[in-house]
Structure 1
Amino acid sequence: MTTRFRNPKEADIVRPCNANIQKTLELVQDMIALADKGDLEREDVGCGIMYGIMRDAAYRLKQIAEKEKQAHILKGWWNASC
């Protein structure tokens, strides 16, 4: 696999699209943690539904972001600093 960087310095620069994918992966971890905490501390069914939806959405986003990250790796767009 070849990289698409013109010079070695460019390999150290995080592409904005990769930074956004990485941030998405970080956010879904926060969403999952909040859903777990909220579910443990909830006092009614409505909150349970809300945290269940949050958890489901987080796992779906995580799946999509990881798939997109793999696509960027295969294209040679992803660097180790992400």
Structure 2
Amino acid sequence: MAVRVHLLNQASTPWRAAGAVLSDGSGRKLELLVWQQGPIAPGGEGVVVVGVQRAPARLRCPCGLELWEEGRARIVTLRQVNFPSTE
């Protein structure tokens, strides 16, 4: 499973994802792999791909998706994320 996230960097410094986690309302969390071609320039747009290499544990969506940069100085939080059923 992989998800492509389009982001706009409204900050004055570049942004590069260092980690991501998907969590459901019951507190279950799934750490995700992160791929990004390069930092998103200030005022620029970019794509971050997050996913897992194996079938993920069952989460009850809607879920929350958090992406963060090194040191977690800036965190992007997306709420109400839904995925199609894999059953």
Structure with higher RCO (Cα < 8 A, 6+ apart):
1
- Normalized per residue, the structure richer in helix is 1
- TM class by shorter chain equals under 0.3
**TM-score, normalised with respect to structure 1:** 0.24
Greater C-alpha Rg: 1
